[in-house]
Amino acid sequence: MIGPEAPTVARTAPDPSAPAIELQEVSKHYPGSPPVVALDRVSVRIDRGEMVAVVGQSGSGKSTMLHVMGTLDGPTSGTVLIEGIDTSVLSDDRLAAIRGRRVGFVFQRFFLLAGVAVIDNVANGLLYTGATRPQRREAAAAVLERVGLGDRIWHRPNELSGGETQRVAVARALVHEPAFVLADEPTGNLDSASSASIMDLFMSLHDEGRTIVVITHNEDIAATLPRRLQILDGRLHDDVRASAN
């Protein structure tokens, strides 16, 4: 099951041979009475190009783990390595740059700006990369084409169906060509047909070689993915790789 893996040595420059994401003994506590242990000494290593499902009950710590993997939040203890770089030594600016250039987040709630055209919602994914407005729009139009919304770019989010809205959010997460896509229950608000089309999209990203982590409640979806991490009460309970079938 959980074989002890040799910890990678921390670096400050990306190492092409290092795993995409590695958590070493990562814990996350939230202060309060009683304090919440959202993550409890989790060690996991995700290689480049892997596609991983994260499953577990509500409140087990899945979102917390995803946020920590994407440098949105730091661990209380333990080490988070992104492409071999120890994130604990990085400044807010450097962490933000990692999120802006290497990571694409997708959330259950889509977090689109109401009243802003689809193309500009997607272009916003490049807002903090230094790209000019025409460059951002061009990239946004291209990625919207790719997710099948080429004819919807001037619509407002409230004019789209739930599945289409999530595809806009996925496009926003892809517009800067991220190495990792971290998705937190991306199909949680969608019907099964829309869910399937979003998962197809993630599969094709996986085929392109991107590293993908998807939190899901849906056992059927989890079962189709090559690797499955099960979280239970903040601990990594199970790590299953599907045998080739």
Partner 1 sequence: MSELVRVALGALAARKLRSFLSALGIAIGIASLVSVLGLSDSSKSALLDQIGALGTNLLTVEAGTGFGAGDSALPETAVASASRVATVEATAAVYSVDAAVYRNDLVPEDQTGGIRVIGTDPGLLETLNGGMAHGSFLTEGTRQYPVAVVGSVAAERLGIRDLDPAVMLHIGGRWVEVLGVLEPFALAAELDRAVLIGDLAAEAYFDAELAPTVVYVRVDERYIDETRDVLAGTIDPENPEEVEISRPSDLLEAQSAAESSFTGLFLGLGAVALLVGGIGVANVMVIGVIERRSEIGLRRAIGATRAHIRRQFLIEALTLASLGGTAGVLLGVAVTYVYATAQAWRVIIPPVALVGGLSAAVAIGVVAGLYPAIRAARVSPTEALRSA
One-letter amino acid at 131 equals A
| Six token digits for residue 3 | 């074989």
What is the closest distance, in whole angstroms, from the C-beta atom of residue 29 to ligand ADP in the complex? 9
Which of 111, 163, 190 has the alpha carbon at shortest distance from 152?
A: 163
| Segment contacting partner 1 by CB under 8 A, of 1-9, 102-110, 155-163, 205-213 | 102-110
When binding is defined by CB under 6 A, the residue of 60, 166, 194, 211 that contacts ligand ADP is 60
Interface with ligand ADP includes 64 (CB under 6 A)? yes
DSSP state of 242: P
Tell which positions 115-144 bind partner 1, by CB under 8 A.
115-116, 124-125, 127-129, 133
Smallest gap from Cβ 76 to partner 1, in A, equals 13
How far apart are the C-alpha atoms of 173 and 92, rounded to whole Å?
Answer: 20
- Binding ligand ADP (rule: CB under 6 A), the pick from 17, 58, 158, 245 is 58
Point out which span in 4-12, 142-150, 182-190, 206-214 binds partner 1 (CB under 8 A).
182-190
Q: Which does 164 bind (CB under 5 to 8 A by kind): ligand ADP, Mg ion, partner 1, none?
A: none
φ, ψ (nearest 5 deg) of residue 29: -110, 140
State the burial class of residue 31 (Cβ atoms within 10 Å of its Cβ: 0-12, 13-18, 19+): exposed
* DSSP annotation string for 14-76: --TTS-SEEEEEEEEEE-SSSPEEEEEEEEEEE-TT-EEEEEE-TTSSHHHHHHHHTTSS--S
Assess contact for 215 and 204: CB atoms under 8 A: no
Number of CB atoms found within 10 A of residue 46's CB: 20
Minimum gap (Å) between residue 202 Cβ and partner 1 = 18
CA distance 217 to 205: 21
Q: Which is nearer to partner 1, 191 or 200 (CB)?
A: 191
105 binds, among Mg ion, ligand ADP, partner 1, none (CB under 5 to 8 A by kind): partner 1
Residues that bind partner 1 (CB under 8 A): 63-64, 67, 70, 72-73, 92-93, 96-97, 99-101, 105, 107-109, 111, 113-116, 124-125, 127-129, 133, 172, 184-185, 188
Residues that bind ligand ADP (CB under 6 A): 30, 32, 36, 38, 56, 58-64
Residues that bind Mg ion (CB under 5 A): 63
